[in-house]
Structure formats: structure tokens, C-alpha cells
């Protein structure tokens, strides 16, 4: 059985099979990573900065991202590790003399070569288009190709002459393994800087305390070492004498209180053991005056209303 016009359909036209997985164009992916900002997705323009993971950004886009503190802020995955401008490094790039920029194909009637780049390696002249590995030095920000770093092995920058070590070399737009290695190095570098800052802070506080103590003890700096020693000895002797006088005064006050208590006790015992006065004796019923008054009084009579 055929369709209209006598055509015979094939199996792939009648039976729907599994959908093909869409693959990303490698050329387009390279152009996006090397020619566009990782935050704003705009073309890279100087000044260009790079993070410690090797991603490229426009500096103005990073500043706008950091200044945006609104709740509607869009969190970008490629910039979550950037907390301030110290987390990025401005790159010292070398311009490509054959690069004509966007003005070369304004009408759209010419072939646009995606392998051409605006920057090159200053040592071997390779274009920074993603076909070759490039890296930058974290110490100075100069950018070189990996081939130049391997061919000319040195611990001094080829462009500015600043010294660097192996950990300062950061690969730009590296693979997943290289990104994981850079992540580990970044965490180690931040932890080391934090510990160093804490140690410096403790040292500064210790030196400030020591200087304050020396100034308080030694006095003005115009004194000689012998005079300073003499003043320190005098202060120590004065302190010991003041403590001894304080101890002696405390002991004297304690002895005075004990003497007062002893005298009070002796006076009380003397009055208790001595003879009493007649006025004091007349208070009690055993006195002769009380007995006499009792004999003179009549017997006690109770008057009630119920005797009738």
C-alpha cells in the first residue's frame, strides 16, 4: 500500500524511535568560554579579570555582581566563590596586531573566522582562542601559553620580570580535572592566608602589650639602661615596702580590736562580780523593801457580780 502519488513510506517515517541526544557544538562552546564574560555573557572587553578557577570575566560585570545586594539577585553558579575583588586578578594581556575587531564584518557578507582571537601569547605568538592551553600567573596577572611555560622554564615572569612559583600558575578555562585541582589549591591558599593573618594579629597585640609594659615600667626613653634598672628596682622595693606596711597595719588593727574585746570582757566580769546598788536590789521581790510593802497591804479580795 502506498500513499498518494504512489510513494512507499519507509520504516523510520512510520515508527518513532528514541530521540537523539543533542550535542553541543565544540566551536561554539570554545567561543563562548574564551570570548564572552562568564557572568554577563557579553563580549570580553578590557579590563578583563580571572578568578582562581581560571574563568574569564569583565571587571565591570564583577563589580556590578558584588554591589547587587537585592533579594531578587540572580545567583550565578560560575561566580559563587567570588566574595570581593581580591578573589579575582586583573589580567595583563598582549593584543593581537592582526585582530581587526567587530568592525571587519559589520555588513555580514564576509566569512567570520572563529579561530582568530584578540589576544596572543607574547612569547610564541599563539592566539588565545581556546585551541591551545593558556595560563596566567597569580602573582602578576601576565598571560602566557602553556607551550611557552614548558619551553622556557624559569621562575621569573617573561613579561614583567616578577618572580613566581609553581602554585601561582593557573590554567584558563581548564578541564574538569584541572578545575578540581585549582579548587583544592584555592582552598589551601585561603586557609593559609587566614592562618597567617591570625598569627600576625596575635604578634601585633603581643608587641603592643610588651611596649606598653616597658613604657610604663621604664618611663621616658631618654633614661639610660642603668637608670632604668634603678627605677625598676625602686618600684619593686616600693611595692614590697607598701605590702609590708599594709600587712603591719592590718595586724595592728586586728590586735587593737582584740584588746578592746578583752577590756570589755574584763569590765563586764568586774561589774558582775562587784556589789550591787540598793536601787538595783529594790527591783527584785527578795529585797527587804518589797517584803515590807507586802506585809502592809491587805489580803487580795476578788469582787464579782455573782455573789448575790
Q: Per-residue pLDDT tens for 93-110? A: 999 888 876 655 556 566
pLDDT in tens, 52-96: 999 999 999 999 999 988 888 888 888 888 999 989 999 999 998
Is residue 68 situated within a structural domain?
yes
Domain span at residue 72 reads 25-101+112-173
Cα–Cα distance between 62 and 78 in angstroms, integer? 11
Higher pLDDT, 261 or 200: 200
- Evaluate the omega torsion of the peptide bond into residue 150 and state whether it is cis, within 30 degrees of 0: no
Q: What is the largest CA-CA distance in the chain?
A: 165
- Looking at every residue in the chain, the average pLDDT score rounds to 75
Higher per-residue pLDDT: 149 or 250: 149
Q: Residues of the chain with pLDDT > 70: what percent?
A: 62
- The gap from C-alpha 259 to its chain's centroid, in whole angstroms, comes to 64
Domain annotation covers residue 92: yes
Structure letter (DSSP) for residue 132: S
Q: Which residue has the cell 571587571?
A: 59
- Asked if residue 65 is part of any domain, the answer here is yes
Does the pLDDT of residue 295 top 80, yes or no? no
Is the separation of the CB atoms in 19 and 59 below 8 Å?
Answer: no
The structural domain count of the chain equals: 1
pLDDT value for 308 = 46
Tell me what pLDDT residue 27 has: 79
Supply the pLDDT for residue 269: 46
Domain assignment of residue 283, yes or no: no
Residue 260 in domain: no
Check which CATH number belongs to the domain holding 167 and give it: 3.30.40
Residue 154 lies in a domain: yes
In a domain, 106, yes or no: no
CB–CB of 143/136 below 8 Å? yes
In a domain, 256, yes or no: no
Amino acid at each position: 500500500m502506498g500513499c498518494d502519488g504512489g510513494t512507499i513510506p519507509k520504516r523510520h517515517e512510520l515508527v518513532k524511535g528514541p530521540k537523539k541526544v543533542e550535542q553541543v557544538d565544540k566551536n561554539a562552546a570554545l567561543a563562548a568560554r574564551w570570548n564572552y564574560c562568564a557572568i554577563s555573557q557579553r563580549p570580553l572587553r578590557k579590563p578583563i579579570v580571572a578568578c582562581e578557577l581560571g574563568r574569564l570575566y569583565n571587571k565591570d560585570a564583577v563589580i556590578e555582581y558584588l554591589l547587587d545586594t537585592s533579594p531578587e539577585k540572580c545567583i550565578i553558579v560560575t561566580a559563587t566563590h567570588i566574595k570581593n575583588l581580591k578573589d579575582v586578578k586583573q589580567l595583563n594581556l598582549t593584543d593581537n596586531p592582526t585582530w581587526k575587531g567587530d568592525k571587519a564584518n559589520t555588513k555580514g557578507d564576509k566569512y567570520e573566522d572563529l579561530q582568530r582571537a584578540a589576544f596572543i601569547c607574547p612569547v610564541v605568538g599563539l592566539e588565545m582562542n581556546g585551541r591551545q592551553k593558556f595560563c596566567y600567573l597569580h602573582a602578576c596577572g601576565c598571560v602566557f601559553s602553556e607551550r611557552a611555560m614548558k619551553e622556557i622554564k624559569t621562575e621569573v615572569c617573561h613579561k614583567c620580570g616578577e618572580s613566581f612559583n609553581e602554585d601561582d600558575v593557573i590554567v584558563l578555562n581548564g578541564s574538569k580535572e584541572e578545575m578540581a585541582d585549582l579548587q583544592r589549591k584555592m582552598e589551601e591558599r585561603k586557609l593559609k592566608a587566614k592562618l597567617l593573618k591570625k598569627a600576625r594579629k596575635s604578634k601585633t597585640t603581643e608587641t603592643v602589650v610588651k611596649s606598653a609594659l616597658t613604657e610604663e615600667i621604664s618611663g621616658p626613653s631618654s633614661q639610660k639602661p642603668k637608670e632604668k634598672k634603678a627605677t625598676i628596682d625602686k618600684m619593686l622595693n616600693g611595692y614590697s615596702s607598701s605590702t609590708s606596711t599594709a600587712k603591719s597595719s592590718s595586724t595592728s588593727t586586728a590586735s587593737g580590736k582584740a584588746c578592746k574585746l578583752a577590756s570589755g570582757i574584763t569590765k563586764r566580769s568586774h561589774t558582775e562580780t562587784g556589789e550591787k546598788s540598793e536601787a538595783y536590789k529594790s527591783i527584785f521581790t527578795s529585797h527587804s523593801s518589797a517584803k515590807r510593802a507586802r506585809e502592809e497591804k491587805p489580803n487580795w479580795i476578788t469582787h464579782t457580780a455573782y455573789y448575790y
